[in-house]
Structures are given as structure tokens and as C-alpha cells.
Amino acid sequence: MQEAAPLNKVAEFHRTFKHPILNTPGIPTGKRCDLRVSLLLEEMKELQEAVEENNPMEQEQEFGDVLFSLVNYARFLSIDAETALERTNRKFIRRFTKMEEAVELSGKKMTDLSLADLDAIWEEVKKQNQTD
């Protein structure tokens, strides 16, 4: 039998943020989505503060909190976070490969180009592959 303590913490969270506990699942409302986004932004703020403080241990912890919040938001939206990440990785690999090809066709090497040049090529590849 599951302990009540974790469920009580969830209920406490909902009461604190005046977020109703639904009896049946449904499509998230704008207000419910706004709450999730505000929680995510709060975690991002804490990560930024850890970066500004140059505290690697705190940065790692806060980065983990951001990832956790993102995965929870994905779950809230009925998105499989692992599938979304895998698709994004494949999209990145396709675009990066096209970027390498474009640089090679220009007769240059990636190491010869500035970050601004690489960014311009990346943006052009993205523009050409909007369906990615």
C-alpha cells in the first residue's frame, strides 16, 4: 500500500498555489499551464543565480531541478520527454551534418570559421529544413 505522505505533499502544493485537484484528467487549462511555466521559470532563475555565484555544486543541483521541472511539465502536457529528446537529437544531427556539408562545399574547414560564420550557416540550414 502506498504511503499517504507523498500524496499529502502534492495536495499541499495544490493548496499553496491555489491549484485545484481534479477528479478526472483533462486537457490542461491556460491557468494550469501558467503555473507549470512559473515553476519552471523559478527553477531557471535559481540556476542563473548559481551560475552568477560561480558555484559548480549548486549549478549542478539547480540544473537537475530544471530538468526535473521540464520532465514534469512534459508529463503534464502528455508528452513523452524521452521521445521528444530523441527526436530533437536526430533533428540536430541532420542539421549539423548539413552544416558540415555546406562548409565542405565552400572549401573551408569548420575550424577556420568564426562562431558568427558558423551561426549564419546553422541558421541557413534551419531555414532550408523547416520541416525538421
pLDDT tens digit sequence for 21-58:
656 555 666 777 788 888 899 999 999 999 999 999 99
Sequence ranges of the domains in the chain: 1-79, 80-132
Rg (CA), the chain: 21
Angle, CA of 25, 36 and 61, to the nearest 5°: 125
Cell of 35: 503555473
Q: Residue 22 carries which side chain, given as an amino acid letter?
A: L
What is the C-alpha to C-alpha distance for residues 88 and 46, in angstroms, rounded to an integer? 26
* Spatial contact of 99 and 121, defined as CB atoms under 8 Å apart: yes
pLDDT exceeds cutoff 90 at 12: no
Per-residue pLDDT, 3:
55
Name the pLDDT band for 1 (thresholds 50, 70, 90). Answer: very low
Burial of 62 (0-12, 13-18, 19+ CB in 10 A): buried
Is the predicted pLDDT of residue 73 greater than 90, yes or no?
no
The pLDDT score that the predictor gives to residue 31 is 74
Q: What single-letter DSSP state applies at residue 108?
A: -
Decide if pLDDT at 124 tops 60.
yes
Handedness of CA 36, 41, 43, 44 (dihedral sign): positive
What is the residue whose three cell numbers read 555546406? 102
Is the per-residue pLDDT at 9 higher than 70?
no
What was the pLDDT predicted at 75?
A: 85
pLDDT averaged over every residue in the chain: 85
Average pLDDT over every residue of 102-118:
94
